[in-house]
Amino acid sequence: MLTYLNEAVASICESIRFDSAMAKGAPGKPFGTGPYDCLRHFLSLAERLGFETHNYDGYVGEVVYGTGEEEFAILCHLDVVPAGDGWTKEPFGGVVEDGKIWGRGAVDDKGPAVCCLYALKALKDRGFEPKKKIKLILGCNEENGWACIRHYNEVATMPETGFSPDADFPVIYAEKGILHVRLHFPLPRLPFLTLSGGKSPNMVCDLCRATPRSIGKKRAEELGLEIRGKSLIARGVCAHGSTPELGVNAIEPMLRYFEPRCPEIGRVLACLFDDVYHLRDIGDETGKLTLSPNMIHCRKRDLQILCDIRYPATVPVETVHAALSKFGVKYETVHHQLPLFNSKESGLIRTLLSVYEECTGQKAEPVAIGGGTYARALKCGAGFGPEMPGDEPVVHRPDEYITIERVKLLLEIYERAIERLTK
């Protein structure tokens, strides 16, 4: 069996070296130069490997294998969240050290995308002729609103079935709904001149900065805040917005610092951190609702906080809105994605689970996650790797990496899964 391990490792490193975080768009480059160049690199690689490719106006790319009337999708993305702070490695270095490939996108989602491409190459070299047309679809705006998928649906035909290698093993049968809301808290008297924090709606805020009207040194020290001249800095630990419990939110200590000077901030803390309205009690078999206040700024006495909410897959979004209304504050929906829910006994889920068990030798059960993948863009889709139970959480964190051993396993798993689902 050809695994193309060395080639895959080299290609992952090359892809990581593109800073493909969303930037200011330009003609033909809707999400900035970085995502565009990364997409061109991937499609050029696929062409050299002998595949048909399509670049849909810089929004999304496609690698095609097979000619069947029925289609099968492998949905990946090449954009990344901003690097953030706290790295000990170069975020876009794409270097191999200690048996690992380091850099933003190694796991989410450039590494798995490259592995799927080389899995297709291995199948092609073996003479495998799929009965379905396989479309390896490569979005460039997964982390910031899915405009890439909307564009794809306008200019091409999305398959009904497939998987996205942008989640967890053994296989994802359900994904929580995603709701980004901006809450507005009026502050009649501001105890600060400036206040801001957070880099992305789906990243736990790891840095919050404020300029107080006056600095209380003792309280700042009690809350672990840094004093830099006339500024206060709160530092946290970044994590994916779907798993806020794995991070430390820098917004909370900053707000607690100002609470004695501004009683209205106590209401903010009660709603978003103390959870007096028990929003987080909403749950089902796919888990409890999570709420992560990830971006904050103040504009004209209006404290605005952008929150990432992941709500259980069988719970109507109206239930969440009803709970939010109890806050008694103005809010608006910035982004919403409906949940994904498949039967654990569906053919897609059972096939992917069997491949996982064969390749790992481990018995397992389908799982639900709070993260959102492109799988929900399909009528019947599932998240399938690359993370394993017990992995160190590195997605959306500093020093993201993927091990060489994991790359090797992914090549085997994805080759077998694609063959099994398209023969």
Any idea what the CATH number is for the domain that residue 191 is in? 3.30.70.360
Q: Pick from 285, 315, 337: which residue ends a domain?
A: 337
Side-chain half-sphere of 350: how many Cα atoms within 13 Å? 5
Tens of pLDDT, residues 332-384: 999 999 999 999 999 999 999 999 999 999 999 999 999 889 999 999 999 99
Query: Is residue 308 located within the same domain as residue 227?
Result: yes
Residues of the chain with pLDDT > 90, as a percent, come to 93
Q: Are 328 and 262 members of one domain? A: yes
Query: Do 11 and 105 belong together in one domain?
Result: yes
- Structural domain boundaries enclosing 183: 177-337
Angle between helices 347-360 and 404-422 (to 10 degrees): 140
**What pLDDT is attached to residue 411?**
97
29 DSSP β-pair partners:
26
Task: Say yes or no: 9 and 76 in one domain.
Answer: yes
3-state class (DSSP) for residue 67 = coil
pLDDT by residue (tens digit) across 35-56? 999 999 999 999 999 999 999 9
Whether residue 187 is found in the same domain as residue 325: yes
In this predicted model, what pLDDT tens digit does every residue of 156-203 receive, in sequence order? 999 999 999 999 999 999 999 999 999 999 999 999 999 999 988 989
Same domain flag for 161 and 13 = yes
Q: pLDDT tier at 1 (50, 70, 90 boundaries)?
A: very low
Instruction: Collapse the DSSP code of 279 into the 3-class scheme (helix H, G, I; strand E, B; otherwise coil) and give the result.
Output: helix
How would residue 255 be classed by pLDDT, with cut points 50, 70 and 90? very high
What tokens appear for 88 in the block? 């000990």
- Mark whether 142 is an active-site residue: yes
Q: How many domains does the chain have?
A: 2
Q: Which of 25, 23, 43 is nearest to 143 (CA)?
A: 23
* Rounded distance between C-alpha atoms, residue 165 and residue 107, angstroms: 10
The CATH number for 72's domain is 3.40.630.10
Looking at the DSSP bridge assignments, the partners of residue 140 are none
65-97 burial, b at 16+ Cβ within 10 Å, e below that, comes to bbeeeebbbbbbbbbbbbbbeebebebbbbeee
Same domain for 85 and 116, yes or no, is yes
- In terms of domains, do 36 and 103 share one? yes
* Residues near 29 by beta carbon (within 8 Å), at least 6 away in sequence: 35, 36, 58
Q: Residue 209 gets which letter from DSSP?
A: E
Among 169, 138, 144, which residue's Cα sits nearest to residue 359?
Answer: 169
Q: Are residues 237 and 135 in the same domain?
A: no
Q: Which of 79, 109, 252, 308 is catalytic?
A: 79
CA torsion through residues 367, 371, 377, 383, sign = negative
Q: What's the pLDDT band for 2 if we cut at 50, 70, 90?
A: low
What are the Cα distances from residue 310, in Å, to 17, 172, 240, 282, 291?
31, 15, 11, 11, 7
Domain final residue pick, 322, 337, 352: 337
Catalytic residue among 19, 71, 109, 142: 142
Q: Are residues 245 and 228 in the same domain?
A: yes
Q: Which of 337, 360, 382 is the last residue of a domain?
A: 337
Q: How far apart are CA 83 and CA 163, in angstroms?
A: 27
SS3 134: strand
Q: DSSP letters along 13-45, please?
A: HHHHTS--B----BTTBTT-HHHHHHHHHHHHH
Neighbours of 102 (CB within 10 A): 24
Q: Are residues 213 and 104 in the same domain?
A: no
Residue 19 among the catalytic residues: no
**Span 279-333, pLDDT tens digits:** 999 999 999 999 999 999 999 899 999 999 999 999 999 999 999 999 999 999 9
Residues 165 and 281 in one domain: no
